[in-house]
Amino acid sequence: MMHLDEVTLNEYLDSALAPEQRSAVESHLVQCPDCTTRLNGLRALFAELETLPETAPRRDLSPAVITALRRRLPESLVAAPALRAVFAAQALIALVLLGLALPTIMRATQWAVVTQLAGQTVADIAGAFTGVTSELQALQISLQHFMAASLEFVRQPPLPSLPMLNVGLCLAAVSLLWLVGNGLLLRRQPSSPARSRS
Amino acid sequence: MPDPSDRDLALRARRGDAEAFGELVRRYQTSVFNVCYRLLGERREAEDVAQEAFIRAYERLDTFDADLPFGPWMRRVAANLCLNWMERARSAPVSVPLDDERDPEEVGEGNPVSAREHAEHAEAVRAALLSLPPRYRTVIELRHFHEMSYDQIAAALRIPLSDVKSYLFRARKLLAEELKRYG
């Protein structure tokens, strides 16, 4: 007769066998005293572990845990509901200001790009006409005058005005600083390996 | 007014209420301490690691599903921390608790002879557990004292299911041999 292996006996006692395997093991145990003895030995070990008594710690752990948690200043700040509301309001205001400043910054960026492109175009066109015959030189000069005039117009756009641009940039910078500052202040602290004893 | 539930306390703690978490510590410190004591075998060390386990659990409260019981989750955090602790200290020899470290509650009251026998037997089981390699000790802890299934143990320790089965089988074999030696 084939005996049950140790792994199967362990899985049987751990209720880890599928129903049909379990039935097969039970059928075998009924007719095999050797396997039943081994199973009972394993059961006795389980019982020994279960009888191990629980014991109380000699000190209350809660004061030391609470002290360790409170020592984490940023998380304590987050814990105060009033301060949480202040931080949330600050973040909201910063986001609104950033939103207000954004169109001004985008327009300024756009104008800078247009100016740069226009300058490159003038240089390219002038270069292309350099080797042309004398009949075309007059036309080239006229064209250069025209492009220079156009460039002058582009370089002095009606919008945005300098003070407006400065205000926009200041708003954006302050909002970003505000958000980053609060983010740094409220970030989670890495766990400390140091343990405190009460 | 009824005591707040574990769920309420965990949710308040998650919002940063240290006092609420302190109440959870008071409720579960004995069971968490026992996890550490069975795995580490030394009272003071077990208290320190249990304390650290609560701090770790507080940091990871956002991963705790508040609809599930707090106790098993907390004990799992402690068991994992103990396993890391044991593996870090692997080179150091494991010491069996000395007689003067024995817990007076384990000696018990009533008939002094049977109480002493009972305490000695508990001591033998603890010593046998401590003789196991850390991973074997941990699967025994999770299976027998946390009543976790093979799948749950594999997930908690991030090891394959086949390892859980072989660790359990070998650990029990070693335990039985150790206990036979203690008589």
Does B66 have pLDDT greater than 80?
A: yes
Q: At which residue do the structure tokens 């009533």 appear?
A: B110
- CB-CB neighbors (< 8 A) of B38 in chain A: 52
Closest-CA residue of chain B to A195? B52
Q: Which of B21, B26, B172 sits opposite A10 (nearest CB)?
A: B172
B178 touches chain A (CB under 8 A): no
Output the pLDDT for position B100.
47
Instruction: Report the predicted TM-score, pTM, of the whole model to 2 decimal places.
Output: 0.63
Distance of CA B74 to the CA centre of its chain: 10
> Helix or strand or coil: residue A164?
helix
Using alpha carbons, select from B53, B71, B51 the residue that is nearest to residue B10: B71
Q: At which residue do the structure tokens 């700040």 appear?
A: A77
What is the Cα–Cα distance from B82 to B65, expressed in whole angstroms? 22
Q: How far apart are the first and last CA of chain B?
A: 52
Q: At which residue do the structure tokens 């226009």 appear?
A: A118
Q: How much of chain A, in percent, has pLDDT values that exceed 70?
A: 67
Check A10 against B30: CB less than 8 A apart.
no
B149 touches chain A (CB under 8 A): yes
What are the pLDDT digits (tens) for A81-106? 666 677 778 778 878 877 777 777 77
This model of the complex carries an ipTM of 0.80
Check A14 against B168: CB less than 8 A apart.
yes
Does A16 have pLDDT greater than 50?
A: yes
Q: Report the interhelical angle of A19-31 vs A6-13 (nearest 10°).
A: 110
Does A169 have pLDDT greater than 70?
A: yes
CB under 8 Å to A195, separation ≥6 — which residues? A68, B48, B51, B52
**Mean pLDDT, residues A53-60 taken together:** 94
pLDDT: which is higher, B162 or A159: B162
Distance between B13 CA and the closest CA of chain A, angstroms = 9
Output the pLDDT for position A191.
41
Closest-CA residue of chain B to A61? B51
Does A192 have pLDDT greater than 50?
A: no
Q: Which of A10, A53, A61 sits opposite B25 (nearest CB)?
A: A61
Closest-CA residue of chain B to A51? B122
What is the Cα–Cα distance from A6 to A42, expressed in whole angstroms? 9
- Domains, chain B, ordered by start: 1-91 (1.10.1740.10), 110-183 (1.10.10.10)
What is the Cα–Cα distance from B22 to A69, expressed in whole angstroms? 10
**Mean pLDDT, residues B106-135 taken together:** 80
Check A76 against B55: CB less than 8 A apart.
no
Closest-CA residue of chain B to A10? B169
B161 touches chain A (CB under 8 A): no
What are the pLDDT digits (tens) for A109-144? 776 666 677 767 766 766 655 655 666 677 777 778
Q: Which two tokens stand for residue B64?
A: 């705790």
Output the pLDDT for position B178.
92
> What pLDDT band is residue B28 in, cutting at 50, 70 and 90?
very high
User: Are residues B49 and B36 in contact, defined by beta-carbon separation less than 8 angstroms?
Assistant: yes
Residue A15 zone, left/alpha/beta (φ > 0; ψ -120 to 50; rest): left
What is the Cα–Cα distance from B171 to A10, expressed in whole angstroms? 11
Does A193 have pLDDT greater than 80?
A: no
pLDDT: which is higher, A79 or B182: B182
Longest dimension (CA), chain B: 54
Q: Which of B31, B143, B173 sits opposite A14 (nearest CB)?
A: B143
Does A198 have pLDDT greater than 50?
A: no
Chain A, chain B: beta-carbon pairs less than 8 Å apart: 121
